[in-house]
Structures are given as structure tokens and as C-alpha cells.
Structure 1
Amino acid sequence: MKIGLYFGSFNPIHTGHLIIANYVAYNTDLDKVWLVVSPQNPLKPSSTLLNEHDRFHLVELAIKDESRLRASNIEFSLPRPSFTVDTLAYLGEKFPTQEFCIIMGSDSFQNLPRWKNYQHIVRNYPIYVYRRPGHEITETHGARLEVLDAPMLDISATDIRKWIKEGKSVRFMVPDNVISYIAENNYYK
């Protein structure tokens, strides 16, 4: 089975993430897409981060009826901050019969040389890159690349958190069941 790993803070998960995950699951040779909830991205500040278990639960809620998508909390048990190369090694030991690939936006792909042991990643794992406006793919970094034109929604989790804090509606940007759960638990207030 070929599994695409879509890493993210998902703080909170929104329609933009879901469109990309679903598009990749149904428009590539991948059998499944795992949305890997990162406890902490080494390249992002963690001050505005909702607890990882809560973010994981929101991802589960968002994808509960989609058989090709799966929420993964695999990084919760690994040392922090989590580095993709370590997560891939752990997954390879835990699921030796699966083939893992990485899914990322062209903006993240441009930063790949800043990742820990990125040469090992590009040598051993195919990377599925979806284009993001303003972030052209001009360099492959030696990776086996599959470039995708997934539908893009120009919304950000940062904006969603801000609007929730201001009491504004985020309907249609976040799945209804996720909005309800966020409201019930007073997240991002």
C-alpha cells in the first residue's frame, strides 16, 4: 500500500487542507493519505498552538466519513520537536510493508534544504508537491517529484483563529462538525 503523509499543525484543520488531502487521495497513485498532526513544527512558533490531542480530534472529526483519509498522531510519541526524517524512520520500522511518500506545498518544498537530513529524505521518499501561488518549483533538490495542480483555497489557519477570537463566522471554511466542537470547547477565544 502506498501512503502519502500530509504533515501539518492543522491549527485548526480547514477546508483548504481537506481539499488538498482529498484531491491527492483521488488523483494520484496513492492508496491513502494520512494527515499527520505535528505536535510542534521546528520552524514555527508554538505559542498559538492548540493542544495536539485537541487538534488531532478536530482532524478526526473533519475526515470521519472519508475512507481514503486517516488522522495520524504518530509524532505524539516521538521526541520533540519532531523532524520528518525521524518520523519516516519510525514509520518504516512500525509499518515495514507500506510505502510512504510525502505531500507538501511548493512553499514548504522551497524550504526543504533547511530540513534535518533532507538529502536522506529526497533519496528515499517520493515527494508529491502541490503548487502554491507565488512559490514556483525551480529546483528539485534531487527529489523524485510528482507536481500536482490541486485546487487552492486562499485561507489560512491564522486567519481562522483570528476570526474565531473576534466572534466572526468561519462557516464554509471549516467543516460544520469541527466548528461546533471548537465553539463547545471555547477553542481559539
Structure 2
Amino acid sequence: MTSASQQPAFSASLDGAHTMSLDNYIFPTDRLKTSLSDPTKTPLVLVSCGSFSPPTNLHLRMFEEAADFCEFETNYEVLGGFFSPVGDAYKKAGLAPAQHRINMTRIAVQDSSKWIGVDPWEPLHKEYLPTVKVLDHFDHELNNVLGGAQTADGEKKRIHVALLAGADLIQTMSAPGLWAQEDLNRILGHYGAFILERSGTDIDDALLTLQQFRDNIRVIPQLIQNDVSSTKIRLFRKRGKSIRYYIPDKVVEYIYEHNLYVDDDKKQAGKGKEKAASDMSSSAVATT
């Protein structure tokens, strides 16, 4: 954990050759498509915020499910997807240090995907950042800095940014007082969300409460049920049980190498946030 006067700095890549801080931060574009294949479609980038402690196969599968849904059910063309791990200021039980979570998400996508990346901007802040600020960051980088997506005739189209999350997120959004209303208005009203159905989670009541945003909340059916969660992985580790085949193999090896999650019960349970609304809005995937 960094001190109040110290900004976090992390390895810029898995090889650890360079260190990245907010001062030298560069938005990761190596897996981002910058041009549209179909000029009639709206360019889209999916952003998944959460703890990812550790990332699971379900976290990865969420992106694939969303990409298929966009291709067959919408007029969006997915240009890229990003994990945005929450910063250390989240102070949640079971939260491994940010550098480990950045490394694990990088490892998870390194050989398994050509279009999912990891953005360290959020955890590079020493203070907690609500989800709405993270989405605003992506919107700024993709449209103000990069200038949007290019069509075959040279036209530039604005890239739409959307939140990608599990169904349990929508349940927290519908609970009174957990999210600031102004954050919900911008997240669901402006950006919108792609929500993957989750085993044992009924989102119908939540969607009724959020009816004003219904057109911007797209629910993706989970055709093959999967209830793997980071919480269960940490519990298995604490009990000395195998975690293989629930999460990517190389992430398993990283966890064993760095002896992560064996003392999960000793971590502080308090979140350390001033407001519950800000606290909850950081965890876009409740499989934490």
C-alpha cells in the first residue's frame, strides 16, 4: 500500500523492464482495432471494472459472450475490450496488491485473446475512483486523444464506451443508496451496460427498478451455466484445495509462485470508503 504522499507505480509490462506511473502513463492500444470493418456499424469498446482477485475464466468468457451478442443482436462492432482492475484504495478483503492483479489479468489475456487488454490507469491512482470516472477516462482516451475509429473512406466515427459486468452488478445498482444517482445517470444513461446473466441471480426485479435505463441495459443470456467466482477461488486456496481449470493455467502458476490468497482471512474486511455509493460503484463485476 502506498502512503498518502506517494503515487503508485507498476511494471509497465510482464517483463518488468519499465515502470509506469500517472506521469508517464500511456493508454494501451496494442490490441485495439482503430478502423471499422463495417462503416454502417457503431464502434464499441467494452470495459470491465472490478477486483479480479484473481481473474477467472468467467471474466474472460464475459468478453466473448458480449462480442457474440453485439455481432448478432446489435448494430455495434466491437473494436476492443479492457480489464480495469480496481486500485489498492478499495481495501477489500481478499484484494491482492494491484501489481499482482494487473499481472494476473495481463497473463490471463496474453495468449488467450487478441482483442482484450488491461488498462492500469485506475490502480495507478492512490485514491479510490468510482466507475463513472473510469468510463470517462476511456471515453477521453478513445475519442479525444485517439480521435475515434476510422472508416474505409477516411471518416472518423466516435467510439461508444460501455460497461461490461455480471448480473449481480445490476442488483447493487437497483438497491437504494448504494450508488449515487448522478453516477447511475451517466453510467446507464450515457454509456450503457452489457450484463451477463449469472447462475442463481434473478435480475428481473432489478431491471424493473432501473426501468428508466432499460434501453441501455443489454442482458446477455448465459447459455452454459458457470458460477465460478474469485471469492470461491480464494476460499479454495485458503483451504489448500486445487484451483486448476477454474482460472487460466498461467494465472494458477502465478498464484502458486507468489503464494497468493493463502492467508486471505487475515486481510481487513473493511472497505475504508467514505460513501457506500462510491464504494459499490467500483466493483462492476461482483465475482470478486
Shorter-chain TM-score above 0.5 = yes
Asked if 1:32 corresponds to 2:80, the answer is: yes
Asked if 1:18 corresponds to 2:60, the answer is: yes
Provide the identity percentage: 22
Partner of 1:84: 131
Q: Give the Cα–Cα distance (whole angstroms) in 1 for the partners of residues 230 and 192 of structure 2.
A: 27
Encode CA deviations 1:104-138: one digit per residue, 9 max, x unaligned.
22211122253232112222112111122332233
Q: Which amino acid aligns with 1:56?
A: I
Encode CA deviations 1:25-58: one digit per residue, 9 max, x unaligned.
333232322111112586xx51321001111110
Encode CA deviations 1:9-37: one digit per residue, 9 max, x unaligned.
01101112122122223332323221111
Structure 1 range deviating more: 162-171 or 137-146: 137-146
Partner of 2:94: 48
Offset of residue 172 of structure 1: 0.6
Q: Which amino acid aligns with 1:31?
A: L
* TM-score, scaled relative to structure 1: 0.88
Q: Is the 8 A contact 2:87 2:124 kept in 1?
A: no
RMSD of aligned alpha carbons:
2.0
Partner of 1:3: 45
Offset of residue 102 of structure 1: 0.7
Encode CA deviations 1:68-88: one digit per residue, 9 max, x unaligned.
211122212346322011112
Q: Which amino acid aligns with 1:163?
A: F
Matches within 5 A, 1:34-183: 34-39=82-87, 46-65=92-111, 66-78=113-125, 80-96=127-143, 97=148, 98-113=159-174, 114-116=178-180, 117-132=183-198, 133-138=200-205, 139=208, 140-143=210-213, 144-150=216-222, 151-183=224-256
Number of residue equivalences: 187
Structure 2: gaps spanning 5 or more residues: 1-42, 71-75, 149-158, 263-288
Q: Which amino acid aligns with 1:103?
A: L
Structure 1: gaps spanning 5 or more residues: none
